[in-house]
Amino acid sequence: MKPYKPFSPVDISIVSRTEALEIIERFISCSDRTLFMTSNGRVQGLGLEQWLSGIKKRNNIWHYWRIPVNPTITDVYKALLDLGDVKPDLIIAIGGGSCIDLAKAVSALYNLIPTECLSEDSVREAVKKKEYLNNSHFIDIIAVPTTSGTGSEVTKWATIWDTDNLEKLSIDCTELFPKAAVIVPEFTVSQSDRLTLSTGLDALSHAMESFWSKGRTPLSQALSITAIKYIREYLPKVMKNPNDLEMRKMMCVAALLAGLSFSITRTTACHSISYPLTMCFGLEHGFAAAITLLPVAEVNETAVPEISHIYSVFEGKGGFEAWLRDLTGPVQELRLSAFGISLSDIDSIVQKAFTQGRMDNNPVMISPGDVKDILLKVL
C-alpha cells in the first residue's frame, strides 16, 4: 500500500493583525496549557507586550523566549530541559523559520526522551536515528511566521544544526505539519532590509529548486512558477517600499506558494551546497541557497528543459542574472568573496556539500568536481 503523503493538511489563513490575535486566542482557549514560543525581542518588535500580558492572566501559558538563529542540538536540548514537566498540549510559534523549526523539534521530542535520559547526546541520537517516528504524542503547533521565505509553516520538517560535528540534520515527520498557519503581512514589516532580502531569496530558492527537483509534479511546478513570478515582481518593490502592506502581502503569498511547492518535492543541489556556507562561514540561509541558483540551473537544463520557463519570467537567462545583481547589490553582493570566502576554502566546502535527500534530489547527478566548478563561478 502506498504511504499516505498529504499535500498540505495545514489550515492556512492570511489575515490582519487583529484577526490573527483573535485566532490565536481561540486556539489558546481550547488548550489546557499552551507553550508560547517567541523571543522577547519579537514580542516588543510586534508590540505584543500588552496583549501577551492579558492572555497570560486568562490562560495557562508558559512563555519560552530563548529563540536562536538556526537552532542547534544544544538549543533543542536546552529548550527541552527548560520545559521540564510543563506538559503543554499546544505550541504557538511566532517568529521566523528558526522559531518554527525549534517548535517542531520540541513537538517531536518532548514526550519521547525521559527527563532522566535527557542530554545533548540523547537529542542528537533521537534526531539522527529518527526515533521521533516512534513518538505517539506530538504537540500541536500553530505557526505564525514573521518572515516571507522559510515555508516552515506548511512543511513537515525542521532543520537542526549539529555544530559539534558540522552537520545539518533534519527532523521529518508528517505529524509535524502545523495544524494552522496564521500569516500576517503586518508582522513582516518589522524585518530589516537584509532579512527581507535573504528570506525573499530563500523563497525564490525553494520555488526554483522545487521546479526542477526529481520529485516535481505538474502541481508543484505550477505553484513554483507562480511563486517565482510574484517574487520577481514584488521583492524589489518591498525592498524599495518596506512599509507597503500590499507588497508585503504578495511576498507572503509568494513564500507560501513556494513552501507548498517544496513541501511536495524537497530542495536540491543549491540547498545542499548552502549548508556548509551557513555552518562554516555564517552566511544567512537565503543568501547561501540563492548564490548558486544560476549555475545549478544551467547544470540542470538538459534534464529539465522547462527551466526555460523560469528564464522567461526574467526575460531570459541574462535577465535573471541582472535582476539578481540589481536586487542584491545595494544590500549584499551575491558572491562568495563578498562574504569573506576565498579560493582556499572551496575544497573544504565541496567536502561538506553533499546532504542526503537534497543533492541526490537534483535531476542531474552532481560530482564533487561539478560542485567545485559551481562554486568557482560564484567566487
pLDDT, tens digit (0-9, with 9 covering 90-100), for 150-184: 899 999 999 999 998 888 999 999 999 999 999 99
10 Å Cβ neighbour count for 212? 27
Give me the pLDDT at residue 6, please: 75
- pLDDT band for 92, please (50, 70, 90 cuts): very high
Average pLDDT over residues 100-114: 93
Question: How far are the Cα atoms of 97, 106, 109, 297, 316 from residue 76, in angstroms, in the given order?
Answer: 14, 7, 9, 35, 44
pLDDT at 116: 84
Q: Which helix (H) or strand (E) holds 320?
A: helix 317-328
Q: What is the pLDDT of residues 369-379, one digit of tens each?
A: 999 999 999 99
Task: Establish how many alpha carbons lie within 13 A of residue 224's alpha carbon, considering only the half-sphere containing its beta carbon.
Answer: 28
pLDDT tens, residue by residue, 11-64: 999 999 999 999 999 999 999 999 999 999 999 999 999 999 999 999 999 999
Task: Quote the cell numbers at residue 199.
Answer: 528570506
Residue with cell 529539465: 304
Specify the pLDDT at position 2.
59
Confidence (pTM): 0.95
- Residue reference for cell 562568495: 336
Record the cell numbers describing residue 359, joined without a space: 543533492
- Domains delineated in the chain: 11-186 (3.40.50.1970), 191-377 (1.20.1090.10)
In this predicted structure, the answer to whether residue 1 has a pLDDT above a threshold of 60 is no
What letter represents residue 53's amino acid? S
